[in-house]
Amino acid sequence: MCDQTFVAVTFGPCESCGLASPLMNIYVKTDPLNYCSFCVEVMACKGLQRGETLTSLKNESESLKKKLEEERVKLNDVELHQVAEKIEVLGALSLKTRRVLKGHSNKVLCMDWCKDRRRIVSSSQDGKLIVWDAFTLNKEHGVSLPCTWVMACAYAPSGCAVACGGLDNKCSVIPLSLDSNENLAAKKKSVAMHTNYLSGCTFTNSDMQLLTSSGDGTCALWDVESGQLLQSFHGHTADVLSLDLAPSETGNTFVSGGSDKKSNVWDMRSGQNVQSFESHESDVNCVKYYPSGDAFASASDDSTCRFYDLRADREVAVYQKDSIIFGASTVDFSLSGRLLFAGYNDYTINVWDVLKGTRVSCLFGHENRISRVRVSPDGTALCSASWDNTLRIWA
């Protein structure tokens, strides 16, 4: 458990604007400041101060970066695969396609499992959202949305609603019903408003709050009932492409990955960026927490997947192979965290041994790039969504 999350968030008057709100604790040249997240943002956007030039700022940034790396290296003693030497090698995995879900007429961009372990919601470029019972292959609901490229969709924890969004710059929540013929699009409710496309969305521990990431470089937390913005998260310098909520008991943090090659960990209460990792060489397409919440994995266009330990604050493994040249677009862990499933743009899914760093298996079958892989909530199956208009269930 990351000790960061046990720190009670300070709440009180901001030292800059005076309004009462959750405060971020930041340091400017070793002086501590307690500002609300809005004032921090204003400060960060201020132009050059007196005595600063672009080059001097850049030099300062470089030297700080180097110092940070030195600190990290000092604490580095044992590599992950060294500790894993004592662990036995995995047996051969025989994963086969058990279901093929056909029904979308264009690329499937996103999918999510329901907590009942068998229902799935999927969204596609043709503007359709389909809710399936993957076990019986029954399509329970089909919703037509007015926008194309619905890039994000999520199932609510109660199983009573779904959220989706994409090029319409919004995230909408649609309540589901027991009646398959009901027109669900009429009950659609816009919750989140961004200034660019929506790249990811997820419900928090209840149906009442929604966390979104967008191409406008920010993430945001929304109250579903009122549509109110509860907290916004600024810090990425390019599109945010993906986010994942921590599975820990306090559930106060989430991680996001963006086109600026960074993966950032955020405190949901104050909006503060608590950790950041920049070791990829290209856009970070997807981030996913390790089941215990102490680590996360990321997939990138540079064809590697990387594993970061949050308590040690550094990258502990890189999953790559010379024969894998195409970008990885999505990752997910198996229930125990031993296996990492990664979907690539060369139409395959590679299964990696998280501890040993070796590839265990390669899954073929899709006819276009994989947009999303997700392990079911009880770990019994893997679902993959692809630009070949289908979804596959592997077990």
Partner 1 sequence: MTIRTARQDRGQHFRPRMHCFKKLEAIVVEMQDQKSGVKGSEQKLNVSTIPHVISKDVIAWIANKMKSTAETLVFGTMLVAYGYIYPLQNHKKLVMCNDASLYRFQTPYFWPAQKWVAEDSDYAHYNHLHELLNHKWDFIVMQATEQYAGKERKKPDRVVFDCQERAYWIVNRPPRRTHSAMDVGPERLIDPNTDENIFFQQAIMRSKVKSSVSLGLVKYITTYKNHDPFLAPCLPSNPWLSDNDSYWNLNMRVDAPTKMRVERWSFSFFELLSDLRGRDDFKVFLKKEFENLAFWEAAEELKWGTASSMSTKAETIFRTFLAPGAPRWINIDGRTMGLTVKGLDHPHRYVLEAAQTHVFLLMKKDTFFRYLKSPVYKEMQKKALNPEPHNFQSQLDQNAQNRSAGIHPIILWQQEEEEKAKAAAAAAPIDVKAMMSKIDRKK
Interacting residues with partner 1 between 125 and 144 (CB under 8 A): 133, 135-136, 138
Q: Which of residues 60-79 bind partner 1 (CB under 8 A)?
A: 60-61, 64-65, 67-68, 71-72, 75-78
- Asked whether the beta carbons of 327 and 302 are under 8 A apart, the reply is yes
- Which candidate, 117, 110, 111, 145, places its Cα nearest to that of 133? 117
Q: Nearer to partner 1 by C-beta: 188 or 269?
A: 269
d(CA 245, CA 219): 12
177 Cβ neighbours under 8 A, 6+ residues apart = 184
Token pair, residue 283, equals 């856009």
The rounded distance, in Å, linking the Cα atoms of 213 and 283 is 15
Near partner 1 in 275-294, by CB under 8 A? 275-276, 281-283, 290-292, 294
For the CB of residue 144, give the shortest distance to partner 1 in the complex, in Å. Answer: 20
Is residue 335 part of the contact set for partner 1 (CB under 8 A)?
yes
Q: Does 181 bind partner 1 (CB under 8 A)?
A: no
| Element at 131 (helix H, strand E) | strand 128-133
Q: Is residue 334 close enough to count as binding partner 1 by CB under 8 A? A: yes
Pick 15 or 71: Cβ nearer partner 1: 71
168 sits near partner 1 (criterion: CB under 8 A): no
Question: 334, exposed or middle or buried, with CB in 10 Å at 0-12, 13-18, 19+?
Answer: middle
Which residues, numbered 148-167, are part of the site for partner 1 (CB under 8 A)?
149, 151, 158-160, 167
In the complex, minimum distance from the CB of residue 49 to partner 1, in angstroms, rounded to a whole number:
10
Quick note: the x/- pattern for partner 1 over 21-40, rule CB under 8 A, is -x---xxxxx---------x
Interface residue with partner 1, options 113, 132, 197, 254 (CB under 8 A): 197
Q: Contacting partner 1 (CB under 8 A), which of 34, 84, 103, 147?
A: 84
Smaller CB separation from partner 1, 185 or 377: 377
Residue 248 binds to partner 1 (criterion: CB under 8 A) = yes
The binding track of 200-229 with respect to partner 1, each residue x by CB under 8 A or -, is ----xxx-xx-----x-x-----xxxx-x-
Q: If phi over 0 gives left and psi between -120 and 50 gives alpha, with beta otherwise, what is residue 312?
A: alpha
Q: How many residues of this chain interact with partner 1, rule: CB under 8 A? A: 137
Say whether residue 98 binds partner 1 (CB under 8 A): yes
The CA-based dihedral angle spanning residues 247, 249, 252, 253, taken in that order and rounded to the nearest 10 degrees: -30
Residue 180 as a binder of partner 1 (CB under 8 A): the answer is no
* Integer angstrom CA distances of residue 325 from 109, 141, 301, 352, 375: 22, 38, 9, 16, 24
358 near partner 1, rule: CB under 8 A = no
Residue 103 CB neighbour total at 10 angstroms: 16
Q: Among residues 17, 42, 238, 318, which is the contact residue for partner 1, using CB under 8 A?
A: 238
Q: Identify the DSSP state of 226.
A: T
Q: How far apart are CA 293 and CA 300, in angstroms?
A: 21
DSSP of 313-359: TEEEEEE--TT--SPEEEEEE-TTS-EEEEEETTS-EEEEETTT--E
Q: Are 153 and 139 in contact (CB under 8 A)?
A: no
Smallest gap, in angstroms, from Cβ of residue 229 to partner 1?
10
Q: Does 83 bind partner 1 (CB under 8 A)?
A: yes
In whole angstroms, the minimum distance from the beta carbon of 185 to partner 1 comes to: 18
Give 172 or 310: the residue with its C-beta nearer to partner 1.
310
**Residue 309 in the binding site for partner 1 (CB under 8 A):** yes
Instruction: Select from 112, 168, 260, 315 the one that contacts partner 1 (CB under 8 A).
Output: 260
